[in-house]
C-alpha cells in the first residue's frame, strides 16, 4: 500500500493524569502514516485521488488542542478514528503521539504511544 507521512506535527494540549498537566498543558508531537492507493493521484495529478495534508493537520490539531483527556492512548485513538471517518480514500493509518516533556522522574527524550487502525468494510 502507498503511504503519506506527516512527521513531527507539534501542538499544545492539556492531556494527562496529573492536575498540573490539565492546568499548564504541554507539547505533543504526532507522526502519521496514511495508507491509501496513490496510483491515480500520481498518474492524473488530481488532488481528488489523494488526501489533503492541510486538512489532515487541521483534524489532528482539533483533537490534540481540543478537549483534554487523561491518556495519550485516547488521543491516538481519537485521531485514528477521526481520520478514517473523514477521509474515504484512507485505508489504514499509523498514529504515533509523543509527549516530549512527561512529568515523571528521570530523563526521557519522550514517551509515545503508537497505534495502527484499518478501515473496517
CATH number for the domain including 10? Answer: 3.30.1130.10
Q: What's the domain count of the chain? A: 1
Backbone angles phi, psi at 48, to 5 degrees: -65, -15
Q: Are 34 and 90 in contact (CB under 8 A)?
A: yes
The per-residue pLDDT for 107 is 86
Mean pLDDT of 95-114: 91
Q: Is the pLDDT of residue 118 over 90?
A: yes
- Plot region of 45 (φ>0 → left; ψ -120 to 50 → alpha; else → beta): left
Q: What percent of the chain is modeled with pLDDT above 90?
A: 90
pLDDT tens column, 33-55: 999 999 999 999 999 999 999 99
Q: Which range among 4-8, 82-86, 105-109 shows the weakest confidence by mean pLDDT?
A: 105-109
Q: Is the pLDDT of residue 120 over 90?
A: no
Mean pLDDT of 88-108: 92
Distance between CA atoms of 75 and 7, rounded to whole angstroms? 16
Structural domain boundaries, residue 32: 2-118
Q: Is the pLDDT of residue 116 over 80?
A: yes
| Residues noted as catalytic | 99
3-state secondary structure of 45: coil
What's the predicted TM-score (pTM) here?
Answer: 0.95
Amino acid at each position: 500500500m502507498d503511504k503519506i507521512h506527516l512527521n513531527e506535527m507539534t501542538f499544545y494540549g492539556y492531556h494527562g493524569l496529573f492536575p498540573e498537566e490539565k492546568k499548564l498543558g504541554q507539547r505533543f508531537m504526532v507522526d502519521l502514516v496514511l495508507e491509501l492507493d496513490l496510483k491515480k493521484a500520481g498518474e492524473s495529478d488530481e488532488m481528488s485521488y489523494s488526501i489533503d495534508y492541510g486538512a489532515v493537520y487541521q483534524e489532528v490539531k482539533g483533537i490534540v488542542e481540543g478537549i483534554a483527556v487523561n491518556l495519550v492512548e485516547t488521543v491516538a485513538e481519537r485521531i485514528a478514528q477521526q481520520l478514517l471517518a473523514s477521509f474515504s480514500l484512507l485505508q489504514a493509518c499509523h498514529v504515533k503521539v509523543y509527549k516530549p516533556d512527561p512529568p515523571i522522574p528521570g530523563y526521557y527524550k519522550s514517551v509515545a504511544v503508537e497505534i495502527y487502525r484499518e478501515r473496517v468494510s
